[in-house]
Amino acid sequence: MEIERLIVGPLGTNCYILSEGNDSLVIDPGGDDHIILEYLEKKRLVPKAIIATHGHFDHVLSVHSLKSVINVPFYLHKREEKILAGYSEFVKNYIGIDPGPTPVPDQYLSKGTEFKLGDSTLIVIETPGHTPGSCSFIVGNSMFVGDFVFNGSIGRTDFGGSHSEMSASIRMLKKMESNLDIYPGHGDFTSLDNEKINNPFFKEIF
């Protein structure tokens, strides 16, 4: 499986395109849809779905425009409907642009949802905290976490999230034994072992 990171949108979001053969998945298309489409065309990839770790605008900004071209379903957790409800107003107030139509999920993610990609299987786990329906995606030894965990930090909880749910999600992550490669929604890649040792927020939560 190939993993391509495209840094897109006004907040420098890590959009990931996973591919095996010609099959692909688009994770967190947070803007600059032309960059995403150019990559798909260049590699002759056929997307099976668009999946978002959560509903903040910088992770779904290109969903509507991508769907109008590649015509694939968009998946999001149902608990993110509260986040999407304020999508247009938040974007207008926060970065001063009209984001266009609010993305509408075609289907909902939940714990255990699977996506086949060639011989690989991506599995959804629920990691609420940053937002109510934040999810992470595990495929092989790779984990795509959105704004759940960053290199040396964690996602903020004051934009519709919950500190108690974030704490529970981190406790769950700390119990995982595999040293997963972590691909966050912003910034540099990291690993689970590195975060267990060096992330100060992991040390605060027992």
Whether the CB-CB separation of 7 and 39 falls below 8 Å is answered with: no
How confident is the model at residue 97, as a pLDDT?
86
How confident is the model at residue 90, as a pLDDT?
86
Q: At a CB cut-off of 8 Å and minimum separation 6, what does 33 contact?
A: 62, 65, 66, 69
d(C-alpha 199, C-alpha 183), whole Å: 15
Residue ranges per structural domain of the chain? 2-204
Q: What are residue 58's phi and psi, to 5 degrees?
A: -75, 5
The segments of the chain whose pLDDT lies below 70 read: 206
d(C-alpha 22, C-alpha 19), whole Å: 7
How confident is the model at residue 168, as a pLDDT?
96
Q: For residue 133, count CB atoms less than 10 angstroms from its CB and return exposed for 0-12, middle for 13-18, buried for 19 or more.
A: buried
Q: Which CATH number fits domain 2-204: 3.30.1220.10, 3.40.50.2300, 3.20.20.80, 3.60.15.10?
A: 3.60.15.10
The percentage of the chain sitting over the pLDDT mark of 70, rounded to a whole number, equals 100
Q: What is the pLDDT of residues 161-184, one digit of tens each?
A: 999 999 999 999 999 988 999 999
Q: Residues 43, 73, 130, 10: is their CA dihedral positive or negative?
A: positive
How confident is the model at residue 206, as a pLDDT?
59
Kindly state the tokens that stand for 115.
């996506």
Residue with tokens 């688009």: 26
